[in-house]
Amino acid sequence: MMDKEQWIEIFKEINDRVPTEEEIQAGVQSGEIIVSDLSAISKVNDSESNATPQVQPQVELNEYVSQNVVEIQNDQNAIFCNSCGTKNYGNNKQCSGCGKSLEQKDQNIIHSIIKRFNVLNYLKYCFDTQRWGILIYFTIAIFLETYYGEGIVGLIALLFTEFLLSNTGQSLICWIVGAKRIDRSDYQEKVQQPVNEIIQKARQKGLNLPDNIEIRMIHNDVPAAYAIGMNKIIVTDSLLENPYFLEPKIMFELHRIHNMAPNLLPVVVGSNIILIIVLLILLITTLFGGFKKNYGDSRNSFWSGSSETKEGAILFYGSIILIVALISICLLFVKSIVKRDAYLSDQYMASIGFGEIHCYYIDTVSEEDGSLAKGYCELGYPSKDKRISILQNNYHVRYTGV
């Protein structure tokens, strides 16, 4: 934990910008920022607790409770004016304070529509948290696919992205990496109960998490946990045998869900239908060129002045260069966004007292994990030395290595 000024300086060092008020409030709620007036509040509470309590008559207490219940119900039905903050009761279409029209119902309808679609919800979150890189990348990709694909390819890209972010898409990714549902009752008690307790603890610490987080299991000798989308967490069977790492790993992944970090790769993949098609064409061209390079006629043609082996070599090596270039550009973009999310989750681990064990895990245990799940979920992560150095120097984590 740290004071507001120190937190802002560290935030600017990582993100190269000043935090917004919403991000500062989120830091206060998650316990990363110490509110300066906590001591004054505790003194007031101590003085009130040491004072002699006065017993209210039962009638007055009932009247007090009923009055508060009515006020709470009225506040729930009130519409707040965005301009002046006045509470407006009833079906008034204009604010009683400033006279401006109230659009709260329309805003609620729009908000519910956005919540229904995973892509819109994620893009709104990126806009609120100033993740401009994702918004620009997504907009350019969809625009190009819509423009050159006569609208059809852009629509397919949007639908494919929505599918990958959906519960079905997350289940497909879990199936690809080998994560299975927990059907046995003894495994459910052994796995889901402790993980659900950690999820509940994370909510109490201020993390904004979905209600329907499903736990899936995968066989791996390395104790690990990975968030797949917003509603799936994969745990390895060996993690349950190492309770020392259980809570830190789950908390790290829950903070990634809090930041919607697991949505990045599905959005990048889903919005790049054209890129995927181009890569497939280049892959086929590479195979065709390799075949001609190795088995084609090496004699020069009378008409072209070239041989089949030479043409095959040009196709083979040219396709490989293009594939590497396209993947590298995409990976550079992913790394620039993933780096920020990884640093934020590392900072959160230090703020809740798991900094040292987190450093030990990424320094030693994580290095042994070569699974497909790690390759997908940790694509673009910064180097372990960079992450550990930031935790040591910026957040004062006392980790001295092994």
- Going residue by residue through the chain, which has 402 residues, state the pLDDT in tens, using 9 for 90 and above: 567 777 777 777 777 777 877 778 777 777 777 765 444 434 434 444 444 444 444 445 555 444 544 444 444 455 555 555 565 655 566 666 666 665 544 445 555 555 677 888 899 888 888 888 888 888 888 888 888 777 788 888 889 899 999 999 999 999 999 999 888 777 777 888 889 999 999 999 899 999 889 999 999 999 999 999 999 999 998 988 888 999 999 999 999 999 999 998 888 888 887 777 787 888 888 888 888 878 777 776 655 567 778 788 888 888 888 888 878 877 787 788 888 899 999 999 999 999 999 999 999 999 888 888 898 888 889 999 999 999 999 999 999 876
Q: Across the strands, what pairs with 218?
A: 236
Phi, psi of 197 (to 5 degrees): -65, -40
Contact 215, 233 (CB under 8 A): yes
CA dihedral sign of residues 385, 370, 248, 8: positive
C-alpha–C-alpha distance, residues 373 and 106, integer Å: 42
- Long-range pairs for 96-104 at CB < 8 Å and ≥24 separation? 104/79, 104/80
Q: Identity (one letter) of the amino acid at 91?
A: N
Task: Tell me what pLDDT residue 295 has.
Answer: 78
Task: Tell me what pLDDT residue 228 has.
Answer: 93
> Phi/psi zone of residue 331: left (φ > 0), alpha (ψ -120 to 50 degrees), beta?
alpha
Contacts of 185 (CB under 8 A, 6+ apart): none
C-alpha–C-alpha distance, residues 272 and 392, integer Å: 38
- Long-range pairs for 318-325 at CB < 8 Å and ≥24 separation? 318/289, 319/282, 319/283, 319/285, 319/286, 319/289, 320/286, 322/282, 323/279, 323/282, 323/283, 323/286
C-alpha–C-alpha distance, residues 329 and 322, integer Å: 11
Helices 21-29 and 4-15, packing angle to 10 deg: 120
Residues listed for the chain? 402
For 396, half-sphere exposure in the C-beta direction (CA atoms, 13 angstrom radius) is 6
Residue 198 burial (CB count, 10 A)? 19
